[in-house]
Amino acid sequence: MHLIYFTLLLFLCTQTNYAATDTIFAGQALSVNDKLVSNNGRYALGFFNTSSSKPSRDTTNWYLGIWFNTVPKFTSAWVPNRDRPIKNTTSLELTISHDGNLVILNQSTKSIIWSTQANITRNSTTAMLLSRGNLILTDSSNSSEILWESFDHPTDTLFPGAKLGWDKLTGLNRRLVSWKNLNDPATGVYCDRLDPSGANQFLLTPMNSSIPYWSTGVWNGKYFASIPEMSGNNPPFTSNFVHNDQEKYMTLTVVDESMVTRNVLDVSGRSKQFVWSEGSQDWTMVYAQPKLQCDVYAICGPFTICYDNAVPYCSCMEGFTITSPKYWQLEDTTGGCSRNTQLDCISNKSTTHTTDKFYSVPCVKLPQNAPKVEAVTSVSECAQVCLSNCSCTAYSFNNERCSIWHNELLNIRALQCSGTASSTGETLYLRVSAKDFHISKNNRKGIVIGVATGAGVSALGLFALLLVRIWRNIRKGSSRILDGVQGCNRIIAFKYTDLQHATRKFTDKLGAGSFGSVFKGFLNDSTAIAVKRLDGAYQGEKQFRAEVSSIGAVQHINLVKLVGFCCEGSKRLLIYEHMPNRSLDVHLFRNNSTMLNWNVRYQIALGVARGLAYLHESCRDCIIHCDIKPENILLDASFVPKVADFGMAKLLGREFTRVLTTMRGTAGYFAPEWIFGVAITPKIDVYSYGMVLLEIISGKRNSCAPCTSGGNLDVYFPVYAAHKLLEGEVRSLVDEMLHDVVNLDQVELACKVACWCIQDDEFDRPTTNDGRGSSDSGRAN
């Protein structure tokens, strides 16, 4: 893939007389400041550099490439000289050579840097960039005869219509190979190739291995077995697999050719599909495999731990530091980490009197290739076996089994469990130098105490000054703006210390959810606020602020108003208007709360539908909430509903219809398609709304409130509701606490809408702007 964040210097201050065209004829040349543009304007061919700062033409690496010409964010798609960068561009040109091949020529030395190397018997050739992004070389007298094409030599990107696979007659093997890092198109670590064993499937493998870490599954005539979403309705891409006596390959086709798309094997080793969003001016990922980053083989390199739900996802083990911080910043983490201190057994060349120690790493998934040591019955024996061999870097003793690892330690993965090993996690014992072990385990406290004692007198003076400063800050109020950051919608950037003061150090807790806890607070003008502390927010500051800006622009009576945010270091907080009547679940499912009569419930149902319709249809980007449930429907002083908690929201550009995201939400409310990992649409919110509507009617949790049918069998409430609706007995569905004080016509309408919304097939559900759909209940009154 690559979202390239480097400078593209194609048009410098110097003007050129070369007119944009899609063809190079014999005798013509393309210089550094020129480019070919395909007939449809979508692709361009020219020279680019990979310098992230102001480059020097003498030191910068230059490449020939094809990129997306209509996309403002420079994005490369093909780089033929990826392993042969060009340093000097003074006399650089792309031209037709005397033998008819297309070449990159250094005029000053008359040397050829790159060539199409086609077997051409004539020298009258023409090069042309086609509208599909294919650079072809043809005979000038017969343009239908293709002598060479870039589609036969892909780099990291598969163009729509290009073949990925084998030409059995020529032996050509078309495959994708990732970039080395975000700033270097050189041959990288991962490969997407046709299964060499002969199976009709594609494999993702390390370049130096044929063992896959992910496969498409075998083609069954319609789709690959591991990608069932290919058979869904209206996918953004369709695939075709061809196997005959001459060829065996796959092609991808874009359903809507007006979309600008990318299919790429990126630096992370994952196969991804993107669609360009004009609304967000960025690429939006609609597909990725494998779904979890830590499934990619050795993605973090040696002596690291991979975290599926963290950014960054790689971390060095204790006693190790990043081998190449520069590459890690460019998303190439495969170099891993290196020891801070050499092992004692290496420096002293002794395994009998070594001072090496073992650092425990609990709750991890271990590689499966470790040799088992027989006749070892205890942890101490297992440790001794490892210490007796200087190449042993770690051991584990789990389920009465001793396993040891030699040399580099790869593919250690953190699991979601408590601080010690559990049934789902094991403990690894990592061999480290005694020096590193003591610093990490014993000496840190002593160092802190020593420093604190030595600086005691100075600290007292500083502490006094700090008290004065804190007092002044408190007096200035809790609604200060950070660095003048305030949007046109009056979104305030709060200081974390001010929010601590406003919430009395987060003591008045209103509730908690999967993304964090909510606390009540007051601004200095006594305005009540709700402060949500995002405990698991691992996104970067730029991304967080961009999402805050998008959500802050949303203004609707049925959506909770975002007052401000806090983004300091790893701290992420959102500040909302306070809702005195708390959330809908409190009133539906708790006996000691206010009983909502039917009229209030019906108005709540209408308000939530209007709020969702606004999110889906009226914003610049379609906002998919992803977690509609009673806990996220708040009630103001007049019980007007306001949809809350956009911590899981997903923005979807208007140019396309679905987007990929990991399965989130809450059991009992998320739609079936999420279980299969397919790209989602706003219909997931429609499904959740239907479930909430049933709970508003019944006053019961749909996920844990089975009903007894006539046959004395427990029936899932939504199914029971559908049956009663068909039987014309909707009165039996109503919350008994309402004592039949209801409008049965409204109950029947609400029940019909709910049953329509919770259809298993998303295409059977209404949209929020459907005249008969959930937003229609807003017109029914």
Q: Where are the alpha helices (DSSP H) in 402-455?
A: 434-438, 444-454
Q: Which positions ≥6 away from 419 have C-beta within 8 Å?
A: 362, 363
* Tokens (6 digits) for 3: 């979202």
Q: In the numeric block, which tokens belong to residue 99?
A: 């033998």
Q: What residues pair up with 188 in beta bridges, in sequence order?
A: none
The reply to whether 58 belongs to the active site is no
Do strands 528-534 and 516-522 pair parallel, antiparallel, or not at all (unpaired)? antiparallel
The answer to the question of whether 532 is labelled as a binding residue is yes
Which residues, 6 or more positions from 483, have their beta carbon under 8 angstroms from its beta carbon? 493
Token couple for 736: 């008994």
Give CA angle at 256 (251, 260), nearest 5°.
Answer: 80
Task: Please list the alpha-helical segments (H only) found in 418-476.
Answer: 434-438, 444-454, 456-475
- Smallest CA-to-CA distance from 524 within 566, 477, 576, 492 is with 477
3-state SS class at 418: coil
Among candidate residues 22, 184, 621, 627, the one labeled active-site is 627
Directed axis angle between helix 717-726 and helix 744-757, to 10°?
A: 120
Nearest Cα residue to 1 out of 301, 310, 283, 313:
283
Cβ atoms of residues 652 and 621 within 8 Å: yes
CA–CA separation, 292 and 67 (whole Å)? 28
**Buried-state track 522-546, b at ≥16 Cβ within 10 A, e below 16:** bbeeeeebbbbbbeebeeeeeebbe
Sign of torsion over alpha carbons 768, 773, 774, 779: positive
Spell 743-775 as b/e; 16+ CB within 10 A means b.
eeebbebbbbbbbbbbbeebeebbbbeeeebbb
Mode of pairing for the β-strands spanning 401-406 and 135-139: unpaired
Instruction: Read off φ and ψ for residue 235, nearest 5 degrees.
Output: -70, 155
Q: Where does 255-398 show beta strands of DSSP type E? A: 261-265, 271-277, 282-289, 304-306, 314-316, 320-322, 337-339, 357-365, 372-373, 392-398
Closest by alpha carbon to 114, among 101, 100, 127? 101
Instruction: Could you list the residues known to form a binding site for ATP, using ranges.
Output: 532
Catalytic residues: 627
Instruction: Could you list the residues known to form a binding site, using ranges.
Output: 532
